[in-house]
Amino acid sequence: MNFPMYSIVATLHLFHQLLFLLTLTPSSMGRDLSPALLSELPDKCPDLENVVHEDTALAGAKDAGIYNPLGSAHDIPECVRACCNNPQCNVALFYNNQCFTVQCTNAAKCHLVPGKETQVVVVRNLSTEAEWINGSRAGPTHMENDQVSDTSVSGAKLLSAKLEKTPCEVGLFNCKEDEECIPINNRPRAGFCECKEKSRKGVDGHCFEIPGTVVSVVPTIVTDAPKLTSIDPLSSVPAVITPASLLSNDSLITPASLVSSDTGNPSSSERAPIVSTTQSGTVVPVPLATTTETTFTTAKAVGKLVSVNNKTVYLNSDAEIYDEKVTLSAYAIGASDFKYEWTLLEKPQVDDSGTVSDISTQTITLSHLHKGVYIFKVLVDSKDAHGEAVGNVTVLAPKRMNQAPVAIINPKAQEIKLPSSSVIIDGSLSTDDDNIESYHWELVSGPLGYKLPEHTTSTMQLTDLIPGNYTIELHVKDSEGLEGIATATVRVIKETDYPLTANAGWDQIIYLPKTDTVLYGNSSTDDHGIVEWEWTKGPKDSGLAVNMQDTRTPFLKLSKLEEGHYQFILHVVDVANQASNSTVNVYIKLPPLTVPKANAGSAIQLTLPTTHTNLDGSQSSDTGPSTHWFWKQRSGPNNVQFSATNAAKVNISGLTKGKYVFDLTIWNGD
């Protein structure tokens, strides 16, 4: 028969955290585990604590749980890995070069306390809150001071004695009746006495049969008082604890401080743990745990155990309701005629609360569950005993399936040509469903001698590239170590060096009397620059003398040229040692022939006794070196004497009184 689950507004989380904050002993913090080990184990051990507690032991030593020595683990990382691979292991403990994987069976004795020469790593917690096994990070409270020294010293002694397990020899039957001899590591004969399969050792040192699979144990606080009062799921909460009462100045927890007169429904942010009150008024808090145990009370005060295996399930992807059936079972040690009664204490605040069936049996069945925590209390009665325990079913959001990151390089391929020697490669477009933790660039192939600079960012700049082909990989990793890889290529092309062109300038014709000039080679060209200039005379030169200046520059200065033909060669060289020549000719000529215009000068008047004078025809025009001059007397009283007749200027003498007329004739050429 199915019944709807009603909600009683109460919570166990706040009290659970504060209670253990007051009672647990601090541990010595040590070094962190290696990132490589942490990235290897997240799926198997999501609660793995990233710290090695140095000089730390378990409070209850051998009574904290079941110790399994491992000879195959030679250091604390191997010990942690072995514990992680064992679903029943809670703590990895390393002492005297020996690894022990510990399955905690008594949470009150499985928290960490100071020890000696031991290393401890918490691999799995028994409860959903992590504080129960590690304890407070603050100093001991007044409730701890009387316990630290004894437990730490006894813990170290027990470890040195192999946790006081009874040695035995396989096959000789020298263990107790309820034990068997288990070989140590690879030794065929030597071993330790262990409880037989499906049984475990109790606090009294004797083995007892386990009536079901008990995953882990968290104790409730109980007294030897008579039967506990039950809680009606349809009534208001009989007693709640407020945060103010737990954080009062009085460090002792008393019934008065735990019980509030408020019986209403507290807000979600101030929910207090459910408590039960015995007939004598003693308060019994019930913390939320993975597996809970409580003690039966009988007329003879014989201790019995009730435990509930808590369940945690995950919603399917995109689902809001868990439709599969979930069971909660109560296990009681002792008689077989138990009566069970289950009561809902808390559920998620939703309209559709799900269904529960078989509430009067050892195992209840739940279905149609929403995300959140469903907390139940079970009352177990027999003819002469009574007990109770609290269990829960936790429905979590769908597990996120981590996807490997996707590495993206932009652009995928680049091509540059020298003299450009730098490129930027961008990997910032890489994506991940959570977050990219690291970027790593690798040069897969490239020109000999080129070394990729160290880069750990999403963008990388390559500089001083040399000609060749480069292949580069980008590796991106997420927080769980999954990796994505992308490849980019860069091609660097050697710059093309085109041939240079020499240009000595144009040919020149120079007319005497001019005898100097300049040759211009600055029109020579090259794509990278000319580094060498040289002027020389060419093979077709007439061999005439000439003065040459600045023969190693683009400009050649020539002087004292003579009539005739000159040839000059310009030789140029570029940065790639390529060369080019160019030739130029220079012609030196007489000026061209023209019809001159004679000018014999002005009339001259002389007074005797002067009988001589000069005739000047230099004012004639269009004359030159090839001009010919001729003076003659046309008339006069007598014939005069000429100093010369073939010059521009001549002297005449032998003049007398009278009028003389003289003619000047000039011509160019022959």
Query: What b/e string do you get for 383-403 counting C-beta neighbours within 10 Å, with b at 16 or more?
Result: eebbbbbbbbbbbeeeeeebe
CA dist 15 and 21 (Å) reads 10
Read off the amino acid at residue 69: P
First-residue to last-residue Cα distance in the chain: 151
Statement: residue 599 has pLDDT above 80: yes
Provide mean pLDDT across the span 63-69: 87
CA dist 272 and 242 (Å) reads 6
In 10 A of CB 81, how many CB atoms? 18
Q: Which segment of 163-172, 274-283, 312-321 scores lowest on mean pLDDT?
A: 274-283
Query: pLDDT-derived band of residue 140, with 50, 70 and 90 as boundaries?
Result: very low
CA dist 647 and 630 (Å) reads 7
Cα dist. 652→634, 636, 645, 656 in Å? 14, 13, 10, 12
Q: Which segment of 64-73, 85-94, 130-139, 368-377 scores lowest on mean pLDDT?
A: 130-139
Statement: residue 31 has pLDDT above 90: no
Paired tokens of 260? 């509030």
Query: Residues with Cβ < 8 Å from 401, sequence gap 6 or more?
Result: none
Query: pLDDT-derived band of residue 33, with 50, 70 and 90 as boundaries?
Result: confident
- Do you know the residue count of the chain? 670
CA dist 452 and 181 (Å) reads 61
Which of the 8 DSSP states describes residue 448? T
Which of the 8 DSSP states describes residue 22? H
Which of 116-130, 232-246, 273-287, 641-655 has the highest average model confidence (pLDDT)? 641-655
Q: Which segment of 74-83, 105-114, 547-556, 643-652 scores lowest on mean pLDDT?
A: 105-114
Please report the pLDDT score of residue 627 as a whole number. 87
pTM strictly above 0.85: no
Which of the 8 DSSP states describes residue 151? H
CA dist 130 and 49 (Å) reads 9
Q: Are 328 and 393 in contact (CB under 8 A)?
A: yes
Please report the pLDDT score of residue 210 as a whole number. 56
**Alpha carbons within 13 A on the beta-carbon side of 46:** 5
Beta bridge partners of 415: 491
CA dist 647 and 347 (Å) reads 142
Question: When comparing pLDDT for 373 and 594, which is higher?
Answer: 373
Beta bridge partners of 122: 91
Which of the 8 DSSP states describes residue 311? E
Please report the pLDDT score of residue 190 as a whole number. 72
Query: pLDDT-derived band of residue 186, with 50, 70 and 90 as boundaries?
Result: low
Instruction: Classify 475 in phi/psi space as left (phi over 0), alpha (psi -120 to 50) or beta.
Output: beta
Beta bridge partners of 614: 651
CA dist 25 and 27 (Å) reads 7
CA dist 339 and 11 (Å) reads 26
CA dist 61 and 112 (Å) reads 10
Please tell me whether the peptide bond between 539 and the residue prior to it is cis, using omega within 30 degrees of 0: no
Read off the amino acid at residue 320: E
Read off the amino acid at residue 393: V
Please report the pLDDT score of residue 187 as a whole number. 58
